[in-house]
Amino acid sequence: MKTLLVLDFDHTVVDDNSDTWVIRCLPGERLPDSVTKTYRKGHWTEYMGNVMNYLGEQNVTPDQIRLVLETIPFTEGMKNLLTYVSRRKDAIDCIVISDSNTLFIEWILRAAGLQAAVDEVFTNPARVDERGSLEVRRHHAHSCPDCPVNICKREVLRRYLSERAEYGAVFYAGDGGNDLCPVACLREQDTVMPRKGYTLEKRLLQPGRPVKPRVVAWSSGQEILEELKARD
C-alpha cells in the first residue's frame, strides 16, 4: 500500500508566506493603510484580492510577481524531501493543501524544478484576468466553523481520501492553526508532523486535546524525510 504525504505550503514547504512575499514588488515594500485595513479575520483570500488589485493599479505585472516569488526561500531540507518524493512515485503520493493560490505555488515549485514531486495542489484558484492583473478566488464554500471561509483543509483531505484506495499511512506536515482541522481525518497508523515552535504544535499540545495519529514535531524537511524513509 502506498504512503500519502500531505504538505502545507507557506512556512512549511517555503520558509515564509508567499502571499506577503509579493509586497516586495512595491517601492518601499509596503502596502498603504487603505489596503491593509481591508483585512477581516478569516477572510484572507478576499484581502489578497484587494492586494492584487492594488498591485495592478501600481502597474506591477504578473511576470514581475512571478520573478519575486521565485526568490522565496525553501524551508531547510524541503528540497531534499521533495526530490526524494519525486523519485519514489511508485510508493509515495504527495499533495499540497494550502491557503495560498494556484499560480504562486506553481511558479515557486516550477522555478525550483520540484513540480513533479506534487501530484495535486488544493488551494485558492488564481488567474491573470483581462486587465493583466492577478485574480484570486476561494477554493470552496464550506460550513466548518473552525476554518477560514475560503477553505477547510479537513473537507479537502476527507474528500481526497474517499476517492482513492486506502493508504497504508498518511503523513501530514504543517505549521498553522488551519492545519489542526484535517488532523481529525487521520488514523492511529498515521502521523501528524507540526513544525516546532509554530501554532499547530502548540495547539496539539493543549491539555485535553486527544489525537489519534502519532505526533512528531519537525524543524527541517530532513526530519520529515527520515520519517518517510522509515516507512518506505
Q: Which residues are catalytic?
A: 8, 10
CA nearest to 163, candidates 151, 155, 153, 171:
155
Distance CA 123, CA 104 (A): 10
DSSP line for 149-203: TT--HHHHHHHHHHTSPPPSEEEEEE-SGGGSGGGGG--TTSEEEEBTTSHHHHH
Q: State the residue for C-alpha cell 485574480.
A: 135
183, amino acid identity: V
